[in-house]
Amino acid sequence: MIKRRMLLLIILLFTLCCSMILSVSFGTKSIQIEDILGAFGIGDVTTFGSEVVRARIPRTVFGVLAGAALAVSGGMMQSITRNPIADPSILGVNSGASLFVVCGIAFLHVNNNITMIWLAFVGATLTAFCVYGLASIGYSGATPLKLALAGAAAGTALQSMVNTVMMPDTQVMNQFRFWQTGSIGGATWNDIYTMLPFLTVGFGLSLMLSPALNTLALGDDMAVSLGINVFAVRLLGTLAGVLLCSATTALAGPIGFVGLMVPHLIRAVLGPDVRWVLPLSALAGAGLLILADVLGRLFGRPGELEVGIVTAILGAPVFVAIVRKVKVSTL
Amino acid sequence: MRKGYFFRRRKYVIICIILCLLVTCLCLFEMSYGKTTYSIPYIFKVLGSSQAMEGDFTIRTLRFPRVLAGLLTGMAFGMAGNTFQKLLRNPLASPDIIGVTSGASVAAVFGILVLGISGTAVSLMAVISGFAVTCFIYMASGGSRHNGLHFNGGRLILIGIGVQAFLNAIISWMLLKTSEYNVAAALRWLSGNLNDVSMERIPILGFILAVAGTGILLLNRQLQVMQLGEEFSYSLGTKPETVRLLLMLCALFLTAFATAVSGPIASVAFLSGPIARRVTGDGRGNMMASAFTGAILVLLADIVGQYALPARYPVGVITGIMGAPYLLILLLRMNGKGVSES
């Protein structure tokens, strides 16, 4: 098993490096290898090409962070809810964040990122807890079906409220539709610095909690008798998951399906040990998001296809496959 | 026992008549009230005569198609929603939640924004695409036997939700790419709107409503048998496969054509069935009652959206918000009882 883990780790690291290189070199203007070296201070540092590469670096870094955050967030939510289809986009978290962001744009005239993050964070947290709470009332707890329906229905209602705020005002509508499609194209270093503290807390909490999550997978009763404070683990875990996805959503807009598919793929290879699934999901999620971004640039020429669209195109078949698996609840 | 049956039946008929009267009142109100208010006899005079009269444009071109469209789409959505909810035995499984309406919207938005077409062609595309998406969802949820999966309502709902998330991403991408000028036209397809409905699309919807509605009413008895479970329906002489397919087709046609006229009016399909059930207090099919409830919801929301608020909102926004509190109650109640598992 340890050999397999190492192998997967190496493969994922390699893929991530390759996709990062692709990400800085592909685009509307193609780039020579000297330009890439130049951008990092080797050789001729003043060419036009190296400037282009330098402009693409924040986008790539942002993509790595966002992908890792989304994948870990999805993995956390799946472990905590013990529900295979838990994902920010399915739980209606994105629509909650949308509502708060659009209210911020319309009523408070927000245009700085740190306030947007906080708004999205509050919206996402409220929605996540409401949806999960609603779905878990009653007997048999939050089954995949109840959770998905609660999320979808809450999403419909929230979307109508977003429309109410947005429609009378063309300017708000215009600003918002750019936010609504997940994209990492406009990322700057400032965005990354803003996002970093949130992500650090989120990743840290996730790693700290992963042994406890392993125990939780045995069932609540077993976990309690093994000395785990189930309530605290759930609460902190949800907090970490929501923190990760809402920070990303606030800056990049809703990017769906990354959190859904990556942990499943990793689990399929490695088995369910959370301590390994989460870090490797982070690597794989980062690689996937960057690759999706590169693909979007390739296929969307002369413009580009937003990364949220590409992940949706890649993710929908995976989702259908997960649902079709007869035993979906083996978490 | 027989007496009780007749009593309940009579109660159902009376409630349906009351609902129908309510619908008529709302129609008449919406025809007469507005920036200039006309008396009801005068409206009939204008509609009946062939000469041009005062208020001719307002009544004939603006209000009449709008009211008719509201009435017909409301009935279509109400009936289709109730059928899906009964078929899948889940009060949340209406076409707007499991991806049928998104399937119609995505093609319509594509037609408007990318191909630059309008009118009947858009409607046709919406219908075909709604059909294709539903077929895909049905197939993917294991309609065939050879792969060892038998039909499962829960799986169909889950796949529908996944497909919807996918289609919504595509829609918001198309919205992003287009010029600001086109966005308003496309938004009609995303929230449901009765503004600028023209008369020529209404007869088709009326025809479909008549045909598919009759189909659903005829199959209602079999549907009630199927509510008892698959085994019972076999032993009572109903073929669940065939009935399910026919009912789904009818409901799909209703949804797709109604969406083609007004766009997906949020939550109407989802609210009508449960409200009708509450009003009639009866475990019957409730098809007529849900159709009338749907029409009431749409007309009422349209009146509220036009006149009662500071800005004018499309009808779908109002119904969507009406849906939110009801959704909470429904989820709470439903979870108390438990639902069919996936």
pLDDT of residue A326 exceeding 60, the answer is: no
Residue to mutate among B106, B331, B332, B337, with most A CBs inside 10 A, is: B331
More confident residue, A275 or B193: A275
Distance separating alpha carbons of residues A241 and A249, to the nearest angstrom = 12
Q: What is the mean pLDDT of chain A?
A: 80
Which chain B residue is nearest to residue A170, measuring alpha carbons?
B180
User: pLDDT grade, residue A28 (50/70/90)?
Assistant: low
Name the residue with tokens 């797709």.
Answer: B256
Q: Does B147 have pLDDT greater than 60?
A: no
pLDDT for position B241: 78
Tell which wins on pLDDT, A38 or B150: A38
Per DSSP, the residues of A28-83 read: SS---HHHHHHHTTSS---SHHHHHHHHHHHHHHHHHHHHHHHHHHHHHHHHHHT-
**Which residues in chain A touch residue B338, judged by CB atoms under 8 angstroms apart?**
138-140
Contact B321 A326 (CB under 8 A): no
Find which of A81-90, A190-199, B230-239, B322-331 is predicted with most confidence, using mean pLDDT: A190-199
User: Smallest CA–CA separation between A31 and chain B, in Å?
Assistant: 26
Q: What is the mean pLDDT of residues A7-13?
A: 87
ipTM: 0.71
* Mutation target among A98, A143, A163 for the B interface, most CBs of B within 10 A: A163
Contact across the interface for B328 and A168, Cβ inside 8 Å: no
Q: If you average pLDDT over every residue of chain B, what do you get? A: 79
Looking at the predicted structure, is the pLDDT value of residue B197 above 80? no
Q: Which of B113-122, B262-271, B331-340 has the highest mean pLDDT?
A: B262-271
Instruction: Look at residue A42 in the predicted model and tell me its pLDDT.
Output: 67
What pLDDT does B263 receive? 79
Chain B residues near residue A87 by CB distance under 8 angstroms? none
Confidence grade of residue A204 (pLDDT, cut at 50, 70, 90): very high
Mutate which: B97, B113, B161, vs A, most A CBs within 10 A? B161
- With CB atoms and an 8 Å threshold, state whether B335 touches A257: no
Q: In this model, does residue A41 exceed pLDDT 70?
A: no
Q: Given this structure, which CATH class describes domain A2-324?
A: mainly alpha
Determine which of B176, B270, B315, B326 to mutate to test the interface with A (most A C-beta atoms within 10 Å).
B176
pLDDT band at A43 (very low <50, low <70, confident <90, very high): low
pLDDT at A203: 93
Minimum CA–CA partner of A309 in chain B: B169
Is pLDDT of B12 > 70?
yes
Residues of chain B contacting residue A256, judged by C-beta atoms under 8 Å apart: 165, 169
Give the span between the Cα atoms of B119 and B197, in whole angstroms.
Answer: 10
Plot region of A219 (φ>0 → left; ψ -120 to 50 → alpha; else → beta):
left
- pLDDT, residue B331, reads 67
Contact A140 B338 (CB under 8 A): yes
CB contact under 8 A, A316 and B324: no
* Digit-coded pLDDT (tens) for B74-132: 999 999 998 888 888 777 778 877 778 888 888 888 888 878 777 678 778 888 888 88
Q: What pLDDT, on a 0 to 100 scale, did the predictor assign at position A328?
A: 40
Break chain B down into helix, strand, coil percent, rounded to 5.
Answer: 75, 0, 25
B332 contacts A306? CB cut-off 8 A = no
User: Does the pLDDT value for residue B154 go beyond 80?
Assistant: no
- Measure in Å the smallest separation between the Cα of A261 and chain B Cα atoms: 12
* pLDDT tens per residue across span B157-173: 778 888 888 888 888 77
**Cβ neighbour number for residue A331 with a 10 Å cutoff:** 18
pLDDT of res. B8: 77
Report the pLDDT value the prediction gives residue A220, as an integer from 0 to 100: 77
- Burial group, residue A261, by CB count within 10 angstroms (0-12, 13-18, 19+): buried
- The answer to whether the Cβ–Cβ distance between B339 and A157 falls below 8 Å is no
Question: What structural domains does chain B harbor?
Answer: 72-337 (1.10.3470.10)
Confidence check: pLDDT of B38 > 70 = yes
Confidence check: pLDDT of B334 > 70: no
A107-163 confidence digits (pLDDT tens): 887 777 778 778 888 888 888 888 877 777 766 666 666 777 777 778 777 877 887
pLDDT at A68: 93
Q: What is the pLDDT of residues A89-101, one digit of tens each?
A: 777 777 888 888 8
Domain layout of chain A by residue ranges: 2-324
Q: Report the predicted TM-score, pTM, of the whole model to 2 decimal places.
A: 0.76
Residue of A nearest to B324 (CA): A157
**Helix (H), strand (E) counts: chain A:** 13, 0
Is A88 within 8 Å of A311 (Cβ atoms)? Answer: no
Give the largest Cα separation in chain A, rounded.
67
Which residues does chain A have within 8 Å of residue B314's beta carbon, measured at their own beta carbons? Answer: 163, 167
Whether B173 and A306 lie within 8 Å, measured CB to CB: yes
Q: Are B272 and B280 in contact (CB under 8 A)?
A: no
d(CA B49, CA B63): 16
Given phi > 0 = left and psi -120 to 50 = alpha, else beta, which region is B88?
Answer: alpha
Count the neighbouring beta carbons within 10 Å of the beta carbon of residue A74. 30
**Alpha-carbon span B84 to B91, nearest angstrom:** 9
**pLDDT tens digits, residue range A47-68?**
777 777 777 888 889 999 999 9
Residue B342 has pLDDT above 50, yes or no: no
Confidence of residue A39 (pLDDT cuts 50, 70, 90): low
